[in-house]
Structure 1
């Protein structure tokens, strides 16, 4: 910001402070008591004080002028203050002229001025003073007509001309009247300035823009715009600080003895109480507390993060929460209407509540930073020291404040709120430190701590439960005090709000979190565990943590994950991390028939494949069916438990093996695959076959080797086998591409000679 902009910002605030002070004085001024004092004094015969209602109307006119002064644009405000300064300079010139005439009358010397030294000194002093006044007035009004402000020089000129002293008194009065007429003429010529300003604003585009803003955004947007232009928070803060400084100065200027420490604390509270006797001064205190809270929170951010805290500054923690808290409590307790002593005592309690709110805001700033520092494996000791030291301060200071409140105050509902807030802050800091210690312990261990998330959940759940119990105790005490003590609407409203936000919502959120975790644990227990063979076939990492899988669970959509990783995912949402399909609970999964069947068979492509296999089995002789069944049972092996659900690739493999176990079926399958791929895509048949069967792309070699020594089937059998193969090899949209390719490979692999390409196949030979 440039220097000019800074000066304009300071002027924008400083020139409006007198308007707030005038409003405060008018609020303090009691018209009735003022006229009672006038009636008891000698001024009761003055005709100016005979009309009480006229003075009352002038009182309201003062309010209007103060508001106009508050809302004037800065340029017109500067002009107004220049006019006021000119009037003050003219009054100073009048005082100088009156003092000179009085001194000359007292001396009684009517001779030449230069012959008498004292008279010469008086004349020189008065002349210099009048010249300075005239020069300053012409500079302020930006005019070269200096004679307009030189009427007070007439008595001096008359004294040089040896005019009698009685005539000089008359000339002095004439100069005063002439100056007064000039001021009246100036006021009359500028009487319509407010009307002209309003007329100009109506004609300019500003009025059109204002109407547009009101129509589109409403009056709230217009109010916020005026709020920002007038800088009301800074304005009221400067006004209150000025009042507070004047109060402290008036106290120390009337006392000569030194003040003790207890007396200073009492002086501080009473001075604040004296500066809260009007709504304007109360608003000034509210904004002052807001800016103090903002400064403390900004220092907290700077202490934790340094200059990085100002790069991505959060819109929250602006200190407005503390200011609004003070305003609500002051209005609810009737702070303005109390005596100074009672007001000081009540202010001490309210300020304790504000301090507790500031500590809570500091904890909200420090908590994510400390936890992120513990989990980020940062080796900077200075960062860790700053975070831990701030947490220790937030742990000790609220507890000490609660102890001091219990020692010096009688227990009350508001004091119980302060104590409960301090205890909650200490509990939250203790939980944060425990989690930070767990992170650091895991950092120094070589192996990760088992069930770390469960331990952290237990720590969080413990102090959340303690917070809930403290909130319940506060509600119970407030209800008992309302029932058996003094009842008030505001107190009952605060109890209801506290019960809803701090008791009901906390209980609801805690119960929902518990149900989510319990449901996640049940879902993990209901999912089957992958065997070593399935993990070798899957040969992939966990999609959540990107680590190798020694153990894993299989979702209903045939995806493999670590059990712990999937459980953490289910804490947040109940869908698969990869395909986002809904994960069913244990009861729903148990109701699905034939869990041994692969997941691919549940899709439309899997159903077509099952239908084709059934037709093929019906066409085979009974002894071939038995042989295929026995070989399929041997293929399962003893390692695969009964009822285990495999992945999509395993399911397709099993379905393919059921109808390729006979020696005569493999040549037909390869031949039909060649015929079908050549018919559909003649130019890419060889590449498609080589990609599907994982062998070198040589169709002639493949046909010669695979069909050697085997009789060719009849055309009807080839057509039937091609239809079956087409049904088997149709891609399943619910299965991964790798799984579909694996099923194609194994459907043609049994009872075939060994090719060199089979040594490069990632699939085990047992399949």
Structure 2
């Protein structure tokens, strides 16, 4: 029997992680090809129509092939790159033999004319030894990548070494040239034979993938198919690596150019000056969103940053809600929509930098609103559950304070540096709305904390909370109307687009119509609940003490009054009203608490069956009190 002890962690499996990293790295070149094709000029000045059509077809073919490689499965992707690398090694080997022959031919003629010898003695051995090692490496790599196990592997390596053998035994130049051509022809023929042999397998694999995709499309639909492909190829990670790699390469080139310019000017500093650093940073930001693909890459980077920011805030405030982990999805979607709405990638470099900074300000305010949505439930749960630990309250209050201060600082800085326009008005409106949301949350939090501190039933607490939240919702609704008007003005007089019009329609539906509909529904439900509560008889004084019971909802004793349902159950008026917000039945027996006037008329005409059932509470009341006053008769008659 194994010794008892703490469970040991599982061994670190590097195989799957390395394969996943290699898979992501092998998908990135496809995005570079697509980006290069989109950024290249489709038609050069002076080209004819046929040249333009041919160039367009080649561009489409390149995008199609790159897209196919991008979505290949892991096994097919590795096989594709192995075959492509083998073909690249074969082509490189042939070119090395050919250019080595040209080099030797040129120098042999030069040495023969200058010194009377075809080649200097100390140059010959070093040249053929270097060629031998290089061709041997090419041959071994070619054989290993194509997994050639038969005698053909030795023949291929020998074929690559034939031109080197001709150099060693000092054959005539025309015979060396023939050997170079024969070696290249044999390698090309064998490579084509391998390619043809794999075409059949490629056809069946392609057909299998096509049938599988068609089957999944018919069963699950296009959305689930795209989601599965998105996750399978790790597309956000691929976009992130593509964007960071592209940015790093451009940064290296720009830094090298700046250092060379400083060296030519006689400036010798190991570090780049602040002005040059700022120019490099602006250039990188401008080139980082110069196409739709790079905007997607920047969105993927923003997604990663927002995801870890959200996780950090959730851990800091102590929340475990899974829905609050969607910041890594909401932030990049908002950024991409803003980029499409403003035409970010199609702007001039200077305008693109300004527009990107404005979009980032809007994105920051949206992220702050989302963080408030994460902290508000935690704040309410702490206050409603009467948690007394200051360490538990401090993180949420600190984040709420930051959510109040940051919009004020952002608005002050923007108003200090920019003149009033539609963009600045939108950012300021979002900031003011966020500050009002924080004030509403803190006010409700304080009300709940006061209720928990005095430890008595505060019957007006629910009304106060409703008034505070209703005021906040009304102000938020008014801000929604203002933002709709601001967007309409922007679309009509500044920059109208179809995407902006669609976003305005979505804003009008979700932030104006649905919010007004839900607010009105809540108001009607509360008014109806109050009406139902007022229609029920109330017990006070001596009769209340004779009941000697507790409320079945809150389990507290009846101190001042109680309401009686038609099914003869007793509840606090406040507790029963909160229950009636949800459903119109008794919490104990699930009979209907309130009967409309039309239902009362039908019930009285139904042979008195319902009336007898509803008159049962009257008999119980008489038994409990021993009197039958006119007031009680009027109250009980109102129930029927």
**Same fold at TM > 0.5:** yes
- Of 186-195 and 348-357, deviating more is 186-195
Correspondence for 1:292: 305
Correspondence for 1:580: 590
- The answer (yes or no) to whether the contact 2:404–2:438 under 8 Å persists in 1 is yes
Distance, in Å, in 2 between the alignment partners of 1:355 and 1:476 is: 22
- The answer (yes or no) to whether the contact 1:237–1:285 under 8 Å persists in 2 is yes
* One of 24, 49, 52 as aligned partner of 2:35: 24
Correspondence for 1:562: 572
Matched, 1:534 2:547: no
Matched, 1:241 2:244: yes
Correspondence for 1:325: 334
Matched, 1:187 2:192: no
* One of 220, 225, 231 as aligned partner of 1:222: 225
Correspondence for 1:271: 284
Correspondence for 2:5: none
- The answer (yes or no) to whether the contact 1:427–1:463 under 8 Å persists in 2 is yes
Change in 2 beyond 3 A, CA 1:159/1:90 = same
**Which string of whole-angstrom CA distances, capped at 9 and with x for unpartnered residues, describes residues 629-678 of structure 1?**
xxx99x846xx864136999xx9xxxxxxxxxxxxxxxxxxxxxxxxxxx
Matched, 1:80 2:85: no
Change in 2 beyond 3 A, CA 1:76/1:481 = closer
Distance, in Å, in 2 between the alignment partners of 1:367 and 1:441 is: 18
Correspondence for 1:139: 144
Superposed, 1:143-154 pairs within 5 Å as: 143-144=148-149, 145-154=153-162
- The answer (yes or no) to whether the contact 2:386–2:452 under 8 Å persists in 1 is yes
Shift of 1:484: 6.6
**Which string of whole-angstrom CA distances, capped at 9 and with x for unpartnered residues, describes residues 723-753 of structure 1?**
xxxxxxxxxxx9xxxxxxxxxxxxxxxxxxx
- The answer (yes or no) to whether the contact 1:554–1:646 under 8 Å persists in 2 is no
Shift of 1:148: 0.6
* One of 407, 410, 418 as aligned partner of 1:398: 407
Distance, in Å, in 2 between the alignment partners of 1:261 and 1:370 is: 44
Gaps of 5+ in 2: 1-11, 263-270
* One of 366, 373, 385 as aligned partner of 2:375: 366
Correspondence for 2:480: 471
Distance, in Å, in 1 between the alignment partners of 2:634 and 2:154 is: 104
**Which string of whole-angstrom CA distances, capped at 9 and with x for unpartnered residues, describes residues 657-707 of structure 1?**
xxxxxxxxxxxxxxxxxxxxxxxxxxxxxxxxxxxxxxxxxxxxxxxxxxx
User: Which has the higher Rg, Structure 1 or Structure 2?
Assistant: 1
**Which string of whole-angstrom CA distances, capped at 9 and with x for unpartnered residues, describes residues 131-163 of structure 1?**
222222222222252331343422332233232
Correspondence for 1:122: 127
| Alignment root-mean-square deviation, CA | 4.2
Distance, in Å, in 1 between the alignment partners of 2:179 and 2:326 is: 67
**Which string of whole-angstrom CA distances, capped at 9 and with x for unpartnered residues, describes residues 161-182 of structure 1?**
2324564345334433443343
Correspondence for 2:164: 156
Distance, in Å, in 1 between the alignment partners of 2:216 and 2:593 is: 51
**Which string of whole-angstrom CA distances, capped at 9 and with x for unpartnered residues, describes residues 171-225 of structure 1?**
33443344334334433444555423235557xxxx3x65543333333333333
Correspondence for 1:252: 255
Change in 2 beyond 3 A, CA 1:349/1:481 = closer
Shift of 1:111: 8.1
Distance, in Å, in 2 between the alignment partners of 1:87 and 1:602 is: 93
TM-score of the aligned structures, taking structure 1 as reference length: 0.68
- The answer (yes or no) to whether the contact 2:567–2:614 under 8 Å persists in 1 is no
Change in 2 beyond 3 A, CA 1:471/1:557 = same
Distance, in Å, in 2 between the alignment partners of 1:605 and 1:58 is: 84
Shift of 1:546: 0.6
TM-score of the aligned structures, taking structure 2 as reference length: 0.81
Change in 2 beyond 3 A, CA 1:79/1:516 = closer
SS in 2 for 1:163: coil
Change in 2 beyond 3 A, CA 1:491/1:199 = closer
* One of 23, 26, 32 as aligned partner of 1:15: 26
Distance, in Å, in 2 between the alignment partners of 1:605 and 1:285 is: 68
Distance, in Å, in 1 between the alignment partners of 2:492 and 2:64 is: 47
**Which string of whole-angstrom CA distances, capped at 9 and with x for unpartnered residues, describes residues 525-565 of structure 1?**
44333144433443321011011112322234332111222
SS in 1 for 2:346: coil
Change in 2 beyond 3 A, CA 1:26/1:481 = closer
Change in 2 beyond 3 A, CA 1:369/1:142 = same
- The answer (yes or no) to whether the contact 2:340–2:499 under 8 Å persists in 1 is no
- The answer (yes or no) to whether the contact 1:558–1:647 under 8 Å persists in 2 is no
Superposed, 1:406-555 pairs within 5 Å as: 406-445=415-454, 447=456, 449=458, 451-479=460-488, 490-550=499-559, 551-555=561-565
* One of 33, 57, 77 as aligned partner of 2:44: 33
Change in 2 beyond 3 A, CA 1:242/1:583 = same
Distance, in Å, in 1 between the alignment partners of 2:134 and 2:173 is: 21
Correspondence for 1:197: 205
- The answer (yes or no) to whether the contact 2:286–2:352 under 8 Å persists in 1 is yes
Gaps of 5+ in 1: 40-48, 611-631, 652-733, 735-767
Correspondence for 1:617: none
Shift of 1:514: 3.2
Change in 2 beyond 3 A, CA 1:569/1:53 = closer
- The answer (yes or no) to whether the contact 2:335–2:363 under 8 Å persists in 1 is yes
Change in 2 beyond 3 A, CA 1:322/1:261 = farther
Correspondence for 2:348: 339
- The answer (yes or no) to whether the contact 2:341–2:497 under 8 Å persists in 1 is no
- The answer (yes or no) to whether the contact 1:420–1:471 under 8 Å persists in 2 is no
Distance, in Å, in 1 between the alignment partners of 2:216 and 2:599 is: 59
Change in 2 beyond 3 A, CA 1:392/1:314 = same
- The answer (yes or no) to whether the contact 1:111–1:162 under 8 Å persists in 2 is no
Change in 2 beyond 3 A, CA 1:128/1:585 = same
- Of 313-322 and 11-20, deviating more is 313-322
Correspondence for 1:232: 235
- Of 510-519 and 101-110, deviating more is 101-110
Superposed, 1:352-363 pairs within 5 Å as: 352-363=361-372
- Of 380-389 and 260-269, deviating more is 260-269
SS in 1 for 2:552: coil
Distance, in Å, in 1 between the alignment partners of 2:311 and 2:317 is: 10
Give the number of aligned pairs: 601
Distance, in Å, in 1 between the alignment partners of 2:540 and 2:50 is: 106
SS in 2 for 1:552: strand
Distance, in Å, in 1 between the alignment partners of 2:52 and 2:492 is: 49
